[in-house]
Structure 1
Amino acid sequence: MPTATAIRNPDEISTPTSASKRWLALGVLALAQLMVVLDATIVTISLPFAQQDLHISEASKQWMLTAYTLIFGGLLLLGGRLADYLGRRRIFLIGLVGFAAASALAGLAQNAGQLFAGRGLQGAFAALLAPAALSLVSITFTEVTERAKAFGVFAGVSAGGAAIGLIAGGALTEYADWRWCLLVNTPIALLALVGAYAFVIKDVPAPRTGGYDLPGALTGTAGLIAVVYGFSVAAEDGWGASSTLALLIAGVALLIAFVVIENRSANPLLPLRIPGEINRGGSYLVALLVPIAMFAMFLNLSFYLQVTLGYSALKAGVAFLPFPIGIVISAGVASALLPKIGPRPVMIAGAVLGVVGLLYLAQLEFGDSYAASVLPAMSLIALGMGGLFVAMQTTALHQVDEADSGVASALLNAAQQVGGSIGTALLTTISVQAAERYVADNPAVDNLLARAAIHSYDVAFYIGAGFFLISIPIVAFMIRDKPENLLEGSEHGVHVGV
């Protein structure tokens, strides 16, 4: 019979075997997180090829992206709570098996319906994987220095995964086939499954009384799906379209109802004390804003590199390589600084670098080169993002009870997912409108369409810099606690089965 032992036992923590096993477990968890994050972008470059092979209509092609992000964003809170109730390792394993099967279904699809169904199932199992992985990092690493390093690794993967997805997608599309952008997940997920069985701790869910919060689960899930889908529709139909407004109004109404239900529920899906604590609340707000700014870079630079500069799919992907490299460097530096100076200065420095990088990028002009205009700006943003993500993930789980770590992790992921959806819709709409105005105002300019496109990118970069700027006072006023307190885990300890 399994017995429960506290992972904070000094003898256990100090043994080389347990220490090495923790870091191997982190490798497995980071691999799963990388798979989840890059899957949102790895199919971007391969989309035209899939559309041609499967005869997908122009009106339907968005579902190759939306089916994943919609289900992923909508089910995150439920997935996080299931991890708390049923065990994080158990949900993590289920997520890996399901993600492997869904990836195979999508990669082997013979028609649009099968492809979209596979992508939707990928999103559903990603909603189990992502919060379970982050909460397992939180409960596995409880010593201050180790905890900072572990969050540094995990944050680096989270922040750089989108760029890695573009690189991998470009390489697989050019040298293999678009299907491998999806099929590659299956062996990776199965490899992570083996590693999870060998190295990831078997946690014991905290005792729970009372039933499930079914009304909260229904309103929260439906509200998130409506909001995420509403922003996706806005990118296609515009902000004033009746479909956009109906979805956003319904989503907001459902989320308001969700908050009311959670406030009254004896056993809530999302205890409001989690976002209510000021440090955690500040982190969730930053997690909502930062992806909007990052999409200002990824979305428009992808077009700039391939359309304006004429890069191939692979070359465009490789052009993003400085971003994950910068993330790794800055995440490592931030991990060393966090226990000494705390998250607030690290987050402010990261946001400032993001502002400067996007303002630099907003100076793009017709005829500029990648080396002179894009590379310096991308490097600045990457150096800011590594530290910002490390500190943000640390404070998002600030003194969260072990029993709530799954749903707290899910809330962080949900904020990032909604932020990404807002960024896609908002910046796509504004960019299109900016280009149209430029064409109307400058009909006699040479290379008019190319110049209009660059102007639209610059406008989006300025707006992205604004979102980074907004995050600075949020961090300054809401991230308050001392470094040693922010890096502590639950005061109740963490229990694992042995």
Structure 2
Amino acid sequence: MKGKWAAFSLLVTTQFVLILDLTIVSIAMPPMGAELGMTQQDLSWTTTAYSLVFGGLLLLGGRLSDYLGRRRVFVAGMLLFAAASLVGGLAGSGEVLIAGRAAQGLAAALVAPAALSLVMTIFKDDPALTKALGLWGAAGGVGASTGVVLGGVLTDGLGWRSVFLVNVPVGLAAGALAIALLPAARSAAPARGFDLAGAITSTGGLALLTYALVDATEQGWTSPRTLLTLAAALASLAAFLLIERRSAHPLVPLDVFRRRLVRAGNVLIFLVAAAMQAVFFLLTLYTQLVLGYTATESGLSLVAVSVTIALTASLLGGRVLAARGLRFTAVAGLTAITAGSALYLRIDVDSTFLTTLLPPELLTGFGFGLLVVAATVAATSEASPSESGMVSGLFNVTQQVGISLGIAVQVSIAAGVTGASTAPEALVSGYRAAFWLATAIVASGLVAALTLLPGRTSRTNSPPKVREPV
């Protein structure tokens, strides 16, 4: 397709911005709270509202892109993203700010699965699909770690409102360029009924689960509210599974989980997202609260991760995958991530960037760059054209749930070890405890890759095969 790389550049940039927005506001919280009179609990909702709506509506967004047309949903989502960002940037109260963040999450839930589906459509039957999916996965990893960097620079230089307002021209430009560059892709399958009950129960269940995980960090894992919310989430998700089993046109056909590669790709991205995004979040606290970095310095201290992920995924990921296969690529990546995660255990009250932080950043960045290529290809390669939106949404849901769960659990562990103390030594002990868990999670991912992914049977540079609709 003529201009496919121009279209891909637009899509991958959009994915980068959406994932970046998960973390960009974290460093801007102190001045944000001071100006709008928001408490620490209020401020936590600026992140929670985005991730809750984003994760809760991803499956619905994926299916809508299959039914209504991927370009149409993408454009609508980007325009909504620009409008919601403007609301956040101009907010005069905490309530308006949080509402703007929730609307951003809704827009992201529409755009993310539509964009990945368009990538699969643009590169259908093209050997370059593997490279494109590697770059796509890298954009997510780089976006999450770049968010804290850009958030610090913008906050120190232009004020906290700039972390919202910067998205307005991006959203408008992406919406306009999409009409010119993207194909009006939609499912080739005939129009069918829409699984409204499945959409409601999956959205409600994922939203409640995300809320319960975040609430647990504030109220404790045994608090009545947390337990009640968790029970409601599990009940809603159980109802969703029952509905999908009986529905003639399910939102997510349950037989998709019988596909070995889909199952493996989702398991791996869940484990790595749960382990490492929490580590990066805690490192922003460690560098500021223990090492005394400014917001900008804290963000810049993670640049090495972003750069290494981008270079590895774009220059090596696709080549290694084509030459050695999915299992080798994933295992190599997870081995590097496990080693890097273990090196973070060396942090102390007087650590330096060059000796303590840079080596594990390079290792984890390199490993993630390889792993995300393998996981993305595995999770999407067995989807038929009519399923691409659904499978893309499922992959994004898995990643978002992993991030939410990982941060909730690791922050709780760190806080439990630290207690009420704010002494640097106590904080370091808490962070180390969380990093031990992260290392164990990634190591379990290594075992999963060896178990779930097929070995290399032949050398080929052909793109992954997709299932044709029955």
TM-score norm. by structure 1 comes to 0.90
The 5-angstrom pairing of residues 361-440 of structure 1 reads 361-436=344-419
SS of equivalent residue, structure 2 residue 128: helix
| Structure 1 residue 58, shift from structure 2 partner | 3.0
Give a deviation string over 1:9-58, Cα, whole Å, max 9, x none: xxxx5xxxx1xx10001110011101110001000010111111111133
Confirm or deny: 8 A CA contact 2:195 2:247 kept in the other structure: yes
Would you say 1:273 and 2:255 are equivalent positions? yes
Give a deviation string over 1:419-453, Cα, whole Å, max 9, x none: 1111111011100111239x7xxxxxxxx821111
Confirm or deny: 8 A CA contact 1:103 1:182 kept in the other structure: yes
SS of equivalent residue, structure 1 residue 362: helix
Specify the alignment match of 1:335 in structure 2.
318
Aligned partner of 2:289 among 307, 312, 316: 307
Give a deviation string over 1:135-167, Cα, whole Å, max 9, x none: 111111134531111112111111111111111
Aligned partner of 1:469 among 443, 446, 454: 443
Give a deviation string over 1:352-388, Cα, whole Å, max 9, x none: 1111001111122232211100110111000000111
Specify the alignment match of 1:27 in structure 2.
9
Confirm or deny: 8 A CA contact 2:144 2:277 kept in the other structure: no
Give a deviation string over 1:229-276, Cα, whole Å, max 9, x none: 110101111111111111112111211211111111110001112222
Specify the alignment match of 1:157 in structure 2.
139
Confirm or deny: 8 A CA contact 1:399 1:486 kept in the other structure: no
Confirm or deny: 8 A CA contact 1:394 1:487 kept in the other structure: no
The 5-angstrom pairing of residues 212-361 of structure 1 reads 212-331=194-313, 332-361=315-344
Specify the alignment match of 2:104 in structure 1.
122
Specify the alignment match of 2:464 in structure 1.
488
Give a deviation string over 1:88-140, Cα, whole Å, max 9, x none: 11111111111011110111111111111110000001000111111111111
Confirm or deny: 8 A CA contact 2:127 2:461 kept in the other structure: no
| Structure 1 residue 414, shift from structure 2 partner | 0.6
> For 1:203 and 1:430, how far apart are their aligned partners in 2?
45
Q: In structure 1, what residue type is equivalent to 2:142?
A: G
SS of equivalent residue, structure 1 residue 202: coil
Confirm or deny: 8 A CA contact 2:70 2:114 kept in the other structure: yes
| Structure 1 residue 491, shift from structure 2 partner | 4.7
Aligned partner of 2:425 among 413, 429, 451: 451
Q: In structure 2, what residue type is equivalent to 1:289?
A: L
| Structure 1 residue 488, shift from structure 2 partner | 2.5
Q: In structure 2, what residue type is equivalent to 1:33?
A: Q
> For 1:276 and 1:50, how far apart are their aligned partners in 2?
46
Q: In structure 2, what residue type is equivalent to 1:37?
A: I
SS of equivalent residue, structure 1 residue 156: helix
| Structure 1 residue 484, shift from structure 2 partner | 5.4
| Structure 1 residue 296, shift from structure 2 partner | 3.4
Specify the alignment match of 2:127 in structure 1.
145
Q: In structure 1, what residue type is equivalent to 2:84?
A: A
- The more displaced of 35-44 and 151-160 is 151-160
Specify the alignment match of 2:188 in structure 1.
206
Q: In structure 2, what residue type is equivalent to 1:313?
A: A
Confirm or deny: 8 A CA contact 2:59 2:390 kept in the other structure: yes
Q: In structure 2, what residue type is equivalent to 1:463?
A: L
> For 1:286 and 1:234, how far apart are their aligned partners in 2?
25
Confirm or deny: 8 A CA contact 2:127 2:462 kept in the other structure: no
SS of equivalent residue, structure 2 residue 419: helix
Confirm or deny: 8 A CA contact 2:262 2:381 kept in the other structure: yes
Specify the alignment match of 1:47 in structure 2.
29
Q: 1:86 to 1:51 in 2, by over 3 A?
A: same
RMSD: 1.7
Q: 1:259 to 1:138 in 2, by over 3 A?
A: same
> For 1:400 and 1:169, how far apart are their aligned partners in 2?
36
Confirm or deny: 8 A CA contact 1:81 1:407 kept in the other structure: yes
Aligned length: 466
Specify the alignment match of 2:155 in structure 1.
173
Query: Which of these two proteins has the greater Rg computed from alpha carbons?
Result: 1
TM-score norm. by structure 2 comes to 0.96
User: Which ranges of 4 or more aligned residues in structure 1 deviate by more than 3 Å?
Assistant: 207-210, 481-487, 489-493
| Structure 1 residue 206, shift from structure 2 partner | 2.3
SS of equivalent residue, structure 2 residue 40: coil
> For 1:379 and 1:346, how far apart are their aligned partners in 2?
17
The 5-angstrom pairing of residues 62-77 of structure 1 reads 62-77=44-59
Specify the alignment match of 1:442 in structure 2.
none
SS of equivalent residue, structure 2 residue 346: coil
| Structure 1 residue 207, shift from structure 2 partner | 3.2
SS of equivalent residue, structure 2 residue 282: helix
Q: In structure 2, what residue type is equivalent to 1:192?
A: A
Aligned partner of 2:61 among 58, 79, 104: 79
- Share of identical aligned residues, percent? 35
Q: In structure 2, what residue type is equivalent to 1:470?
A: S
- The more displaced of 72-81 and 254-263 is 254-263
| Structure 1 residue 480, shift from structure 2 partner | 1.8
Q: 1:161 to 1:473 in 2, by over 3 A?
A: same
Q: In structure 2, what residue type is equivalent to 1:351?
A: L
> For 1:204 and 1:74, how far apart are their aligned partners in 2?
23
Q: In structure 1, what residue type is equivalent to 2:180?
A: A
SS of equivalent residue, structure 2 residue 250: coil
Q: In structure 2, what residue type is equivalent to 1:338?
A: L
- The more displaced of 359-368 and 381-390 is 359-368
- The more displaced of 56-65 and 122-131 is 56-65
> For 1:134 and 1:209, how far apart are their aligned partners in 2?
21
Would you say 1:195 and 2:146 are equivalent positions? no
Q: 1:487 to 1:244 in 2, by over 3 A?
A: farther
Confirm or deny: 8 A CA contact 2:130 2:464 kept in the other structure: no
SS of equivalent residue, structure 1 residue 59: helix
SS of equivalent residue, structure 2 residue 221: coil
Specify the alignment match of 1:92 in structure 2.
74
